[in-house]
Amino acid sequence: MIIGYNRNLYIGSLVFLIIIYTVGVIGLNTEFKNEIAVLTPYTLVLSAIALLLNHREWNRYFVIFVAFAAILGYLIELIGIESKLIFGTYSYGKTLGYKLYGVPIVMGLNWFLMVYSCGMVANLFRFGVFIKSIVGAFLMVILDLSLEPVAVNLDFWTWENGIIPIQNYIAWFIVAFVLLIYFHKLELKKMNRIAVGLFIIQYIFFFILSYTL
């Protein structure tokens, strides 16, 4: 089912995302930092809703991709904290909410959000599937570079000895690349302006916080 472009929905979604992330930046730099930080899972859910509402083509391939990206993302995180061999030695704090076997369930949703958004940005370029997937994976790593110091500061997760290992970024790239190959091979219309907007908003959000917190 292909859904036509809805300008009012797009503008409304974009304004909404700008507002909640702006409130987040301001709130996290006040004395209410901890109270604002615990709202992160809800922000991710609202971001996902905005993305899905603006997705242009719904079919079984897309539904399977959403489920696959979220489940694989969660399982990779689970294997990661148990084995310490994927991202390095780390553990999750309390900020991201309810955990299942030590991993916040919202992490699966976060993997979908980031892969989908980076995939939509990469799709703006007229490259083949392989190059688009490389570009999208690099965008994921660039976003993570700003995200990591913020995540540690807000107790999303902590690293052994407070050091973020290089293997974390390598693993991010590899997992993202695999998911993006799948995404770009999907038979569906890959047009979602909100996904591009969310990537920009999140990058600015984490970039600012990495210097102000």
Per the CB < 8 A criterion, the answer to whether 58 and 189 are in contact is no
Cα-trace Rg, the chain: 17
Q: Beta strands of the chain (E only): which ranges?
A: 90-92, 99-100, 103-104, 157-159
- Identify the DSSP state of 161: G
Q: Return the SS3 of 124.
A: coil
Judge whether residue 2 has pLDDT over 70. Answer: no
How far apart are alpha carbons 73 and 104 in whole angstroms? 11
Taking only the tens place, the pLDDT of each residue in 115-157 is 999 999 999 998 999 999 999 999 999 999 999 999 999 999 9
Confidence (pLDDT) at 4: 60
Q: pTM score > 0.85 for this model?
A: yes
Rounded Cα distance between 33 and 196, Å, is 28
Task: State how far the Cα of 140 lies from the Cα of 173, in Å rounded to an integer.
Answer: 7
Could you tell me the two tokens for 107? 């992490």
- Residue 190's H or E segment, with its range, is none
pLDDT of residue 3: 64
CB 159 within 8 A of CB 88: yes
Q: What was the pLDDT predicted at 1?
A: 63
Average pLDDT, the chain: 93
For 3, the token pair is 């859904």
